[in-house]
Amino acid sequence: MNNILSCLEGAKTVMIAGHTRPDGDCVGACMGLWHYIRDNYPYIQADVRLEPVPDSYKVIKGVEQIISDYEDDRTYDLFIALDASDKERLAGAKKYFDTAEHTICIDHHISNSGFADENLVLPNASSTCEVLTGLMDIDGISYDAAVALYIGIICDTGVFKYSCTSHRTMDMAGCLMEKGIPYSDLIDDTFYRKSFKQNKILGFALDKCSLVLDGRMIMCILERKELDQFEAGHGDLEGVIDQLRLTKGIEVALLASAADGETTKYKFSMRSNHYADVAAVAAEFGGGGHIRAAGFSAAGDIKEIYGRVEKLIKEQLDTCTME
């Protein structure tokens, strides 16, 4: 076992930070380590600094103690960067990294070249939380630390579904489950639970969507007035595109929705199942993402923009094959 956490021995002040726009793995890792330090090294003064945390991760105990500003010039004995693939991703926390006595980085992104004094990057690990759990003394992991770490693992594995999930992932998750955590509720709370409004808008979108390009694509456009009818913002549309993608027989799913407070500016989300490169389509409009999940924003006449997108997707579908 790598003993990178032995750095904690000499430290009196520790700052823990993750990447900008923190996701479940980032929040889970920061809070899991924060609990672990408080429980096992009570003489260490540990701070977590992160940008505002999404509501679905507020089931993690202690998130209200996360410092979300970078105003003061405090210096720390040890800076621990978690789930951040490069120094720029630390955003506002960067200045504390620069002034810390010693820095360590624990991550699982293959692109991480190791920007700290000591680095532990395991690209085959599903999540930073999986790496961290493996570094901890199992007996020293409390219930609250286990909740945080488990949430991180389920978020980065899509509840043990993505190909990054391994035997080791399940072993680590199993160790955390033995702490008596309410794993079913944690999965529902972070992944599946929707507000009434989210369910209503999901239903509306599923009713409105259509099959195009000989049934190879499913698409839905949500206009300003339709979103207003549900008083829905962009955050309420989370999960709509994922449900569209699960339609039998389609290769590409597309959701275009009026951006918050806008009538002629749209956010496009695209997903593909097996072969179409939706990142290439998004790139044509200045957007980005991955081959199977990408998006962009565009302003103008929606029929005209959609027409151009559909044409590019048709080219993808016509030229790419399953092989």
Radius of gyration (C-alpha) of the chain in whole angstroms:
22
Q: Is 22 helix (H, G, I), strand (E, B) or coil?
A: coil
Q: Which is nearer to Mn ion, 109 or 216 (CB)?
A: 109
3-state secondary structure of 136: coil
* Contacts (Cβ under 8 Å, ≥6 apart) of 186: 59, 147, 150, 151, 154
Instruction: Decide whether 127 or 316 has the Cβ nearer to Mn ion.
Output: 127
CB of 156 to Mn ion, least distance (A): 5
For residues 24 and 255, which CB has a smaller minimum distance to Mn ion in the complex?
24
Q: Which residue has the tokens 């389509």?
A: 281
- Token pair recorded at residue 184: 């079913």
User: CB of 21: closest distance to Mn ion in angstroms?
Assistant: 12
In the complex, residue closest to Mn ion by CB: 25
Query: 169 CB contacts (<8 Å, ≥6 apart)?
Result: 125, 126, 127, 130, 153, 157, 160
Instruction: Give 51 or 156: the residue with its C-beta nearer to Mn ion.
Output: 156
Q: Which is nearer to Mn ion, 128 or 190 (CB)?
A: 128
Please give the Cα distance from 213 to 252 (Å, whole number).
10
Minimum distance between the CB of residue 20 and Mn ion, rounded to whole angstroms? 13
- The minimum distance between CB 50 and Mn ion, in angstroms, equals 14
Applying CB under 5 A, which residues contact Mn ion?
Answer: 25, 83, 127-128, 156
Return the bridge partners of 294, or none. 270, 289
Q: How far is the CB of 165 from Mn ion (least distance, A)?
A: 13
Min separation Cβ 32 and Mn ion, Å: 12
**Of 82, 18, 5, 73, which is closest to residue 44 (Cα–Cα)?**
5
CA dist., res. 158 & res. 153, Å (int): 8
For Mn ion, give the closer residue by CB, 121 or 222: 121
Q: Name the residue nearer to Mn ion (CB basis): 83 or 236.
A: 83
Helical H segments across the chain, by residue range: 24-40, 94-99, 128-135, 143-157, 167-177, 183-187, 196-208, 224-229, 240-245, 278-283, 302-319
Min CB(129)–Mn ion separation in Å: 8
Distance, CA of 29 to CA of 150 (rounded, Å)? 9
Residue 106 or 237 with smaller CB distance to Mn ion? 106
To the nearest whole angstrom, how small is the minimum distance from the Cβ of residue 149 to Mn ion?
Answer: 12
